[in-house]
Amino acid sequence: MGTPTTYNVAVPRLVSNPPNPWATRHVEWLEAPPPVQVEVYEECAKSILARNDSPDVPFRFSLNPYRGCQHACAYCYARPTHQYLGFGAGTDFDSKIVVKTNAAELLRRALAKRSWRREWIAFSGVTDCYQPLEASYGITRACLEVCREFRNPVGIITKSALVRRDVDVLLALDRVADVQVILSIPFADDATGRAIEPAASAPTTRFETLRLLSDAGLRTCVALAPLIPGLNDSQVPEILERARAAGARSAFMILLRLPAEVRPVFEERLRARFPDRADKVLNALDEMRAPQGAGRSTFGERMRGRGARWESVRQLFELTCRKLGLESMREDEADPFTPQSRPVPSAQLDLFK
């Protein structure tokens, strides 16, 4: 995703008494508290919009209110970014969370510049903008309100039901700019989801969230990401069927990639929870990622699978989408943040010139 951007003015400050998300009025959208003690660090960031120059990423600008993620997904590609802070990519990533307290102020400053062209902003390009601490800090909501003020289009990708809290501001933004909400749902059953994504909203809850957002009139998409052969490839039709029934208009699928620091975290969790399937999963993944294996990082290749098994899964995905009337996006062409089949308000026509 390009050269890492340094955001710190100073070392993040450890908060001795951080807010408790499970003591807020938004607790109804949160799962049970994680079993680990979470440390919260606050920082005054230097900038908030990250510019991406990777050909594999379908947006130029992303906004990440938090660093690290309480969802603790074993496969998270963002884990190595925590090492820039001097933390580890394993349990530190899940339990040492950095909060950018001045994110909304920085965003307002950025969007007010005459050079800003109201380009799409992805919430978030790295960690989940609706992880549990958002229930207390409200930084994502504050940033969305800034985008509404400046009529700036937004794409959100999340695994959290907490996005329901912000339906009002999302609808207000959607009236003046374009909004899409993507729910990442790689598993059809709650048990597998909980094993690999222990602190994210359960898949059942995510489907319910997808329905609520769709019924409210927001454009929604389901991301079957990541696809993990031997673990969720057989669930592809069910995930797409349930997403379509919940009102999703489009879908995309991305094969799991395991950068060097991520593979041991994923493999440890996989062997602990699915010991009889672990070797088959890892071998199938390396086969689909040949010749470099599951950590393949070459631009233009990172999102693509190879071989007969991958083609079989991809064709199943495409055929199911076609059958259901879901717009499908190939892993090497996915552009989920481009407005599709909807009127464009005259105030934002210059966005697409």
**In this structure, is residue 151 part of a structural domain?**
yes
**In this structure, is residue 7 part of a structural domain?**
no
Count the Cβ atoms, other than its own, within 10 Å of residue 115: 5
Tens of pLDDT, residue by residue over 267-317, are 999 999 999 999 999 999 999 988 655 444 554 555 678 899 999 999 999
- Compute the 3-state secondary structure of the chain and give helix, strand, coil in percent, each to the nearest 5: 40, 15, 45
Question: Nearest Cα to 132, choosing from 28, 222, 203, 14?
Answer: 28
Classify 135 as helix, strand or coil.
Answer: helix
CATH number of the domain bearing residue 319: 3.20.20.70
Q: Which tokens go with 149?
A: 């003020």
Classify 215 as helix, strand or coil.
Answer: helix
Q: What is the pLDDT of residue 9?
A: 43
Looking at the 3D structure of the chain, how many domains does it have? 1
**In this structure, is residue 333 part of a structural domain?**
yes
Tens of pLDDT, residue by residue over 140-159, are 999 999 999 999 999 999 99
Q: Which helix (H) or strand (E) covers residue 123, if one does?
A: strand 121-123
Q: What is the pLDDT of residue 340?
A: 44
Distances from the Cα of 40 to the Cα of 26, 124, 151, 200, angstroms = 19, 19, 32, 18
Average pLDDT of each block of 10 consecutive residues along the chain (353 residues)? Answer: 44 83 80 84 95 70 96 96 93 96 98 95 93 97 98 97 98 97 98 96 98 98 96 97 98 93 96 97 92 52 80 96 90 49 33 26
Q: What is the pLDDT of residue 3?
A: 43
**In this structure, is residue 273 part of a structural domain?**
yes
**In this structure, is residue 33 part of a structural domain?**
yes
Range of the domain at 215: 28-339
**In this structure, is residue 289 part of a structural domain?**
yes
Amino acid at 331: E
**In this structure, is residue 226 part of a structural domain?**
yes
**In this structure, is residue 287 part of a structural domain?**
yes
